């Protein structure tokens, strides 16, 4: 059986890394990188770090503008799907690369969607529109949690198509932990454990709006004044392009994007994290680190329910208050209910074998 995996961003590459190896062993596996994240720091570096083989195809989609990018994904994946004619297309998540589901469905190719069922109910987010569309085109849906499964059932997707598999990040972190622990990023940044905040912010609804981006930096300024700790901010190229009229507050250190090992080491040892990412709160729950999500909505309410994450919104005072609150208690959070048992890769392979043959 021939399976094609299509991906194009940092989170997809990382979360699929252990699944790729099993796909290669169990199927005729065609690996396709759209290069939606086109810089080395957000794409190819993770193939090197995680010892992932070279993709069979690199589509180099045009990311000049939203419409151009979406059109290029659909046109290029349509041609490739016709050429390779896979039995199954495997997609993870909600990026524009996942819109390859549209030509796949048109051609009658079965689609398996990992990370299915997440909902923020916030249509300002491009990802929300993508994930709904991909779910409703998919043949088999592979949500991380029962919470996401319930979302799918409420949308009239039949339960027989849905299999809860847990979050693949657990086995990725555990597999690479020896290399993570060898990181030298502390020496490079001249910092110590629990003596810094770690920040990521790159979502279009946050950084494309000057007021929102200024609010985030104002919140970081308040946090530095309150806690007196350095704030480390590996800055995404999207955010860098929006920084023209933004003043960097004292205590905030902007650095280039990091590889998986260095970034994960910083996550594991931070005092607290602030992020607009969906994936970072998952990782911080595993490490039992407090995390503030600087967004108005989240598709991962299970992380909030676990207790390690607060949704702050974008008002600077609320960002500070959320940070004070989440760092005030004992980090006794449990991750298994929200993240699974760390056996996701094998479950995915078994389902693809049994359900889609």
Between CA 115 and CA 47 the distance in angstroms is 21
- Which residue's entry shows tokens 């819109």? 99
Q: Is 202 part of the annotated catalytic residue set?
A: yes
Helices (H), the chain: 10-26, 44-49, 66-84, 101-106, 126-137, 146-154, 169-180, 185-189, 204-207, 210-227, 237-240, 260-269, 280-287, 301-306, 316-326, 336-339, 344-356
What tokens does 74 get?
A: 């659909």
Catalytic residue among 202, 224, 236, 353: 202
DSSP H or E stretch at residue 202: none
Nearest to 286 by CA among 266, 258, 308, 265: 308
Residue whose C-alpha is closest to residue 357's, from 139, 102, 143: 139
* Cβ–Cβ under 8 Å, residues 166 and 341: yes
Contact 356, 139 (CB under 8 A): yes
Helices (H), 59-184: 66-84, 101-106, 126-137, 146-154, 169-180
How far does the chain reach from its first CA to its final CA, in angstroms? Answer: 7
Sign of CA dihedral 13, 18, 24, 28: negative
Catalytic residue positions, numbered: 202
């Amino acid at each position: 059986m021939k399976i094609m995996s299509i991906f194009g961003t940092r989170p997809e590459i990382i979360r699929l890394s252990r699944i790729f190896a099993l796909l290669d062993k169990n199927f005729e596996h065609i690996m396709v990188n759209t290069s939606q994240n086109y810089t080395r720091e957000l794409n190819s570096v993770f193939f090197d770090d995680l010892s992932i083989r070279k993709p069979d195809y690199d589509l180099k989609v045009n990311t000049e503008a939203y419409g151009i990018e979406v059109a290029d994904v659909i046109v290029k994946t349509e041609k490739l799907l016709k050429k390779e004619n896979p039995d199954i297309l495997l997609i993870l998540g909600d990026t524009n690369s996942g819109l390859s589901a549209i030509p796949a469905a048109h051609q009658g190719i079965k689609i398996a969607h990992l990370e299915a069922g997440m909902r923020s109910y916030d249509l300002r987010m491009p990802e929300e529109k993508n994930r709904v569309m991909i779910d409703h085109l998919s043949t088999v849906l592979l949500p991380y949690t029962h919470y996401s499964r319930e979302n799918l059932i409420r949308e009239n997707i039949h339960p027989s198509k849905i299999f809860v598999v847990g979050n693949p990040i657990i086995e990725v972190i555990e597999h690479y932990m020896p290399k993570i622990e060898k990181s030298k990023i502390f020496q490079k940044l001249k910092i110590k454990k629990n003596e810094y905040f770690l920040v990521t912010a790159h979502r279009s609804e946050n950084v494309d709006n000057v007021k929102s981006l200024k609010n985030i930096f104002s919140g970081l300024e308040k946090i530095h004044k309150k806690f007196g700790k350095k704030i480390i901010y590996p800055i995404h190229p999207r955010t860098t392009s929006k920084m023209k009229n933004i003043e960097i507050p004292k205590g905030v250190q902007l650095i280039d994007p990091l590889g998986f090992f260095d970034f994960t080491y910083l996550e594991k040892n931070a005092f607290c994290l602030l992020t607009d990412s969906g994936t970072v709160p998952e990782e911080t729950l595993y490490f039992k680190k407090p995390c503030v999500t600087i967004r108005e909505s989240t598709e991962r309410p299970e992380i909030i329910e676990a207790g390690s994450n607060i949704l702050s919104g974008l008002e600077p005072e609320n960002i500070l208050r959320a940070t004070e609150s989440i760092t005030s208690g004992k980090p006794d959070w449990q991750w298994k209910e929200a993240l699974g048992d760390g056996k996701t890769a094998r479950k995915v392979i078994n389902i693809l074998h049994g359900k889609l043959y």
